[in-house]
Structure 1
Amino acid sequence: MHKVELSYLLSTERSKNALIRNPLMDMLHAVQEEGSISGASRALDLSYRHVWGALKNWEQKLGRTLIVWDKGQHARLTEFGEKLLWAERQAQARLAPQIEALRGDIERAFSTAFDDNAHVLTLYASHDAALSALREQAAPRGLHLDIRFMGSVDAIAALNAGRCMMAGFHALDQPGSKSVAAHAYRGLLKPGLHKLIGFAHRTQGLIVARNNPMGITGLADLKRAGLRYVNRAEGTGTRVLLDELLAQAGMGPTDIHGYPSQEPSHAAVAQAVASGAADAGLGIEAAAREQGLGFVPLTQERYHLVCLKSALPEPQVQALLKELQSPEWQTSLEKLPGYSGKDAQSGKVLSLRATLPWWNYRKEKNNKKEP
């Protein structure tokens, strides 16, 4: 059986004919009505050579003859050609309501592109519940966030490669120059090239079973024999955070059973705990509450947005800053479990060097002068 592929055209006017246009069917119909290839060519406003060649190509692709090519006779459709037109008319009539609905949906989607007051911003970011909430709130206001969730490291790398306009990542407040976060992000972010935008404060902690039956109170409990931990993938901000917290606690990966395991998101970690496949995993409180699970808070961190300095004047970036600074967004943020807009400076352009104090150019300059 031959397969069907659908396509569409953008036009300032809508055709009054078939709901779905197909060039082969248009040609067959024209030949049937006009009785010749030349007549069909004139009706379609195409050259004779084009129509003749296209019909021959279609015959080759379909493995069937479409036109009776007798010299000196009017061109007419073969039985197969007639059946194709009949089948197409049947499909058009039967599927007309669905086709019309689909066309309306596509037109509404494209209307955003032609609306000068609407903006689309592509954002690659570490998984975050607040970003999802922002996407829902901003859309009716004309700001459409095209979000792709991935690890923090990959998100910033995508920004630097030009695959998105903005990236989202998270780290502890004022991480030191020798921190795990500094090691992970310092080579990806450059003062003068990137601009940091405040977004939110959020709590990260251990997602545990409902009512915390194992009595887990902190990282040290993860060393218990038999306790199963579920981790995030390498390169994610939460994996970086875990390694940071382990280092501060004098622990290492070998202290935790399940450290090599990987889940793609906070929601997936929560689902692993909810299903009984794991006893604990580091994640955000919102993911735990959504599954009705317990949550042991460990630390607060800042979630940052970052873009290239050259992108700041772009209308979609300015629309995002305005949305983040709105009272409506501050109210929405405070309603999310484990999130806070207080001191997060949402929508404010921040100093990269002051917020992430990893660079010391004076020291580097002095070192270069040494023989």
Structure 2
Amino acid sequence: MKSLGVHLQYSFDPSAQQGAQVRNPLFDLLWAVRENGSIQHAAKALGLSYRHVWGSLKQWQEVLGEPLVSWSQGQPARLTPFAERLVWAETRARTRLTPHIEALRVELERALAEARDGDQHVLTIYASHDLALPALRELASRQQRLHVELRFAGSVDALRALAEGRCRIAGFHVPPLPDSPKLFAQALKPLLKPGQHKLIGFSRRAQGLMVAPGNPLSLRTLADVVRTGARFVQRQTGSGTRLLTDHLLQDAGLPADALNRHELAAEDSHIAVAAAIASGLGDVGMGIQAAAQSFGLAFVPMANEDYFLVGLKDALDHPAVLKLRAVLGSTDWQQTLAAVPGYEPPAIGAAGEVLSLTKALPWWHFKQAKASVAPLGLLPTG
């Protein structure tokens, strides 16, 4: 077997990149063949000639030393088992690293922006993984010449970065918690102080179970996941989604270790969980609707949650934060948010509006519920 190395590179381009995609022509070819069932149809989908696609596949087979496509007369072209393993391994690796790739790209864009215009405002945001935030970053650059240095981390880690002065704004998410806020309060209250910190409205989004197309295991609740022994792809400790999962287990009267998740590595983003499920490594995981849709997965809504940005009170008057709030309050942002599956405007206040902790998080001064706990922020699952 040939010994092969991987070489990464980047380029400067007049058009802005959306998200953190790292493209390679080999995988574009393989996905096109997989989705279209023939080299001819794959070539058409890619806007290339049959001769070009066929020649490229032969060249890649020589480089890799393995056959990539198999077919027989009258039968659709199929990826070989090696090629199937390759495309899914590459997809999982790329999606798992997406937050880090995005951080690298932002650092390079910041360096370029500072070299070209030293007066451009820069705002560092540590935030729980979210698929709408990169769109906000692009809009802020176009509207306000504001460079948002976006770094994804779990909700707890993002708030810790704010407390340690590593960012001016942080992002976290939490479901409505009128009756049973214990888990979220234990994790978040030490990092947020009423009067000292102020929230900024961002969005409301749907979280739920991401499952294979058609939901073959008929999973509707976490109790179903436990009952069937489905392989659960978990998020990393300290993430808001991990907190939400543990919260929903507690509400259902299930132990924290009830899910079959111990043999699968924890993932640090919604799209990494979706990629693991789409590749067959897991059967189900918690995530946002937009991530499920990006991998063609079915989505079972479980809870609506509020996503907030937060900063110190005296940071609200900083020019970069004022620009950010102006973008959030714009019609362009409302239209952008409406285009992301499962997202809607904030349920508390408006996007860009400053909110107090006690107003936006009524569970802040919580008391132990005396009655049985009702499901919180649940959406219909039918």
Partner of 1:200: 203
1:103-137 superposed Cα distances (whole Å, 9 cap, x missing partner): xx99953255423xx32110000000011111122
Q: 2:139 aligns with which of 137, 140, 145?
A: 137
Matched, 1:160 2:163: yes
1:318 aligned onto 2:322: yes
Paired residues of 2:122 and 2:146 also in contact (CA < 8 A):
yes
Q: Is the 8 A contact 2:176 2:305 kept in 1?
A: yes
Q: Does 1:109 align with 2:113?
A: yes
Q: Do residues 351 (structure 1) and 353 (structure 2) align?
A: no
- Distance in 2 between the 1:180 and 1:259 partners? 21
Q: Which amino acid aligns with 1:298?
A: M
Alignment partner of 1:335 is 2:342:
no
Structure 1: segments with no counterpart, 5+ residues: 1-104, 362-371
Residues 73-112 of structure 1: matches in 2 within 5 Å?
A: 109-111=113-115
**Map of 1:180 onto structure 2:** 183
**TM-aligned CA distance change 1:291 to 1:317, over 3 Å:** same
CA shift at 1:213, angstroms? 1.5
Letter in 2 for 1:347: G
- Alignment equivalent of 2:225, drawn from 215, 222, 226: 222
| Residues 229 and 256 in structure 1, CA contact (< 8 A), matched pair in contact too | yes
Partner of 1:252: 255
* CA pair 237-342 structure 1, distance change in 2 beyond 3 A: closer
Q: Secondary structure in 2 aligned to 1:239?
A: helix
Q: Distance in 2 between matches of 1:107 and 1:324?
A: 25
1:286 equivalent in alignment to 2:290: yes
Aligned residues between the structures: 255
Which letter does structure 2 place at the counterpart of 1:123? I
Contact 1:253 1:259 in 2 (8 A): no
For the residues of structure 1 that align with 2:202 and 2:219, how far apart are their CA atoms?
30
Determine helix, strand or coil for the equivalent of 2:190. coil
Mapped partners of 1:253, 1:276: distance in 2: 24
CA distance 1:359–1:268, change in 2 (3 Å): closer
Does the CA contact (< 8 Å) of 1:175 and 1:181 recur in 2?
Answer: no
Q: Give the 3 Å change call, closer, same or farther, for CA 317–249 of structure 1 in structure 2.
A: same
| Cα drift, residue 313 of structure 1 | 0.5
CA distance in 1, matches of 2:365, 2:133: 32
1:175–1:154 CA distance, 2 compared to 1 (3 A): farther
**Cα distance, 1:342–1:165 mapped onto 2, change above 3 Å:** closer
Q: Which residue does the alignment assign to 1:55?
A: none
Asked if 2 retains the 8 angstrom alpha-carbon contact of 1:242 and 1:282, the reply is yes
d(CA) in 2 for partners of 1:209 and 1:106?
A: 39
Q: Secondary structure at the match of 2:257?
A: helix
Measured in 2, the distance between the counterparts of 1:200 and 1:342 equals: 4
Choose from 119, 123, 128 the match for 2:121. 119
The answer on whether the counterparts of 1:122 and 1:165 sit within 8 Å (CA) in structure 2 is: yes
Q: Indicate the RMSD between aligned Cα atoms, in angstroms.
A: 2.0
Whether contact under 8 Å (1:177, 1:359) holds in the other structure is: no
Aligned equivalents of 1:245, 1:177: Cα separation in 2: 10
Distance in 2 (alpha carbons) for counterparts of 1:252 and 1:167: 31
Residues 346 and 250 of structure 1, relative CA distance in 2, 3 Å threshold:
same
Q: What is the DSSP-based 3-state SS (H/G/I as helix, E as strand, rest coil) of the residue aligned with 1:253?
A: coil
* 8 Å contact from structure 1 (residues 204, 285) kept in 2: yes
The separation in 1 between residues aligned to 2:111 and 2:277, in whole angstroms, is 43
The Cα shift of 1:310 comes to 1.2
What letter matches 1:289 in structure 2?
Answer: Q
Secondary structure (helix, strand or coil) at the match of 1:200 reads strand
Q: Which structure has the bigger radius of gyration? A: 1
TM-score (norm 2): 0.63
Q: In the alignment, is residue 242 of structure 1 matched against residue 245 of structure 2?
A: yes
Given residue 256 of structure 1, which amino acid in structure 2 is its aligned partner?
A: L
Q: 2:270 aligns with which of 247, 261, 266?
A: 266
Partner-residue secondary structure (3-state), 1:252: coil
Sequence identity percentage: 50
**TM value normalised by structure 1:** 0.65
Residue 275 (structure 2) pairs with residue 275 (structure 1): no
How far residue 358 of structure 1 moved from its aligned partner, in angstroms, is: 4.3
Change (3 A) 1:340 1:208: same
Given residue 268 of structure 1, which amino acid in structure 2 is its aligned partner?
Answer: A
1:271-301 alpha-carbon deviations (Å, 9 max, x no partner) = 0000000000000010010111111110100
Which structure 2 segments of 5+ residues have no match?
A: 1-108, 367-382
Contact 1:207 1:282 in 2 (8 A): yes
Deviation digits for residues 302-355 of structure 1, max 9, x if unmatched? 001000111110000000000000011011101100000153521000111121
Aligned with 1:301 (options 302, 305, 321):
305
Following superposition, the deviation at residue 139 of structure 1 comes to 1.4
How far 1:254 sits from its partner (Å)? Answer: 2.6
CA change 1:353–1:145 in 2 (3 A) is same
